Amino acid sequence: MLAPGAPVHIEKLADSLDLLEDRVGDLDVTAVSTAPADARFISARLESTNIGFSTAAWWVRLKVGNPADSNRLVYLRQDYPLIDSVDLYQPTADGWQLHSTGDRKPFSSRDVEHKDFLFPLTLPARSETTFYLRYSSQGPVDINLSLLDPTTLAGEVGREQLAYGLYFGCVFMLLVWSGLVFLAVRDVAFLAYFAYVATFGLYMLVNTGFAFQYFWPDSPRWANSSLIVLLNATIITALQFSLTILRAQDYTPRLFIVARVLQVLALVAITLVPVFSYAAVVRPVTALILVSVCFMIALGVISLLLGSRPARFYVMAWGAFLCFSVVFLLKNYGLVPHTFFSQHSWQVGALLEMILLSMTLSGRMSELQHQSRTDPLTLLGNRRQFDVMLPAEFDRSCRNGQPLSLLVIDIDQFKLYNDLHGHAQGDEAVKIVAQALRKHARKPYIACRYGGDEFCAILPGTSDASAGVLAERLRAAVQHSLTGEETVTVSIGYACHASGRFESAVKLFEAADAALYSAKEQGRNSIAAFQGRRSGDPPSVKDDEAVDVPSAG
């Protein structure tokens, strides 16, 4: 019973409804409104109105009283838009007036152009009116009715439109961000993420009813088929993103094969959409979604245990999505009642997941930056890294008044070594030097492959004497790494910047390189310190003469 003159906003009508299950689906409004069928109605509860998947037709009886002295317009709203057929029977003096709609009928069949089903009802003065609704659907049957006056409805719709605008605006921003980053860096992980956000965003437009309202209002068949197509496309793109960002083919090859199988199953499901009914396909697809999400979490956990840096946010993203997805799927199966949280849990979980995945991609950006400054053969810093770090450490040395030493290392007679033993063994020689540098020139030292067979080690806070000790350790480690004809030796020159000895980082490098030349003049497989300027060299330091230091080896 409505209060006279008061605003109408009955958000949940579940306690005011009566339900009747028509298992055969052959009852009409005359039958359910008269004996004996009318006696089969049972009082509804909140949990019983979310029926889930059902092959039966469901009748709803609703009594609304208007004690006012004048007629009153109210709107009956069915909040879940993915129901095949919703018929409302309104009693009139001439019988029953039928309002027939549903997402299996053109959008123009609706009394009000809105993504949900809105029925305008005129309640006669000083009377009680009994309405009947008939629901049937190949998907979940979710009876979620509310009653509102026009003013309240307008305010509620406005707030919802704002919330949906913010939601899809966030999705669109993630889409634009990933697309622009892909165009900038050309990394396929960003393309896979772009495809995933695009397919899932389109699915959410279908799930909320906006796609049917604005994109294909005259194609109800496609409106239903698109749900299955986009769900499976989302599975395919999500798995592809997972394989790419976690480099599954390299680190978890068996799980890579499992992911490919799941992608094939999703692709098969898409091809079955024109052949089988929606009801026959939607349940296996729902199960495939749960299996795929659980698989992606397992893939992320295993990758995390194997040391994958992007896996941290990845596991958090899919874990959150799984929790919210379970709530939504339980609602679809009628195991939990229709509430704001259960109805929108998948949307909230998806947005949270996509944001966390974008943070995973931010880690990918760091990884790409690291790769751009890493030598692929030795995994040391490359020439670009050296060119950035040496000036930075030189400036820090000047500011803090601490010494900075630099080693320049060259493999002896590397061209001849390659000619005698082949380029594969030459690569092994390069790796041996890199291994020695990783062992003896750890952080805060910075080891780089300068190019070809030449290496550098930047040694912050290291004196000339300590640099000499380290240089000898490196020389000895390389010499003893192989025996026989394949023995590798190196020559090392080093210089130390202290008390403003060098004018710039370039001068420091020139000094260490000159010391390397001295080491080679000594017969190779030796080290030399720069203590002055060689005759004929351009003036690069403030010392007046050059002194060659014999190798400690």
Chosen domain end from 116, 148, 180: 148
Domain count, the chain: 3
**Distance between CA atoms of 209 and 376, rounded to whole angstroms?**
50
| Sequence-ordered list of residues with C-beta below 8 angstroms from that of 104, at least 6 positions apart, any chain | 84, 85, 220, 221, 224
Say which CATH number the domain at 132 has.
2.60.40.2380
**Average of per-residue pLDDT values in the chain:** 86
pLDDT at position 551? 42
Instruction: Based on the fold, state whether residues 303 and 392 are members of the same structural domain.
Output: no
* Segment 165-209, tens digit of pLDDT: 988 998 898 899 889 888 877 888 889 989 998 998 999 999 899
Question: Residue 2 — pLDDT band, cuts 50, 70, 90?
Answer: low
Is 548 a member of any domain? no
Lowest pLDDT segment from 166-180, 213-227, 508-522, 537-551: 537-551
Flag whether pLDDT at 333 surpasses 80: no
Instruction: Based on the fold, state whether residues 258 and 132 are members of the same structural domain.
Output: no
* Segment 287-327, tens digit of pLDDT: 898 899 889 989 999 988 887 777 888 888 888 877 777 77
* Structural domain that includes position 454: 383-529
Question: Residue 481 — pLDDT band, cuts 50, 70, 90?
Answer: confident
Chosen domain end from 100, 118, 148: 148
Is 378 a member of any domain? no
* Segment 72-83, tens digit of pLDDT: 999 999 988 999
H helical segments located in 123-272:
150-185, 188-207, 210-214, 220-245, 248-251, 253-272
**Distance between CA atoms of 178 and 222, rounded to whole angstroms?**
29
HSE, side-chain direction, 13 A CA sphere, residue 304: 13
Instruction: Based on the fold, state whether residues 179 and 61 are members of the same structural domain.
Output: no
Instruction: Based on the fold, state whether residues 300 and 216 are members of the same structural domain.
Output: yes
Is 551 a member of any domain? no
Query: What percentage of the chain has pLDDT greater than the value 90?
Result: 55
Flag whether pLDDT at 547 surpasses 60: no
- In sequence order, the β-bridge partners of residue 43 are 18
Flag whether pLDDT at 484 surpasses 80: no
**Distance between CA atoms of 117 and 99, rounded to whole angstroms?**
10
Is 553 a member of any domain? no
pLDDT at position 259? 96
- In sequence order, the β-bridge partners of residue 76 are 119, 147
DSSP state of 109: G
Exposure of 197 by Cβ count < 10 A (0-12 exposed, 13-18 middle, 19+ buried)? buried
Residue by residue, what is the 3-state secondary structure of 372-438?
HCECCCCCCECHHHHHHHHHHHHHHHHHHCCCEEEEEEEECCHHHHHHHHCHHHHHHHHHHHHHHHH
pLDDT at position 316? 84
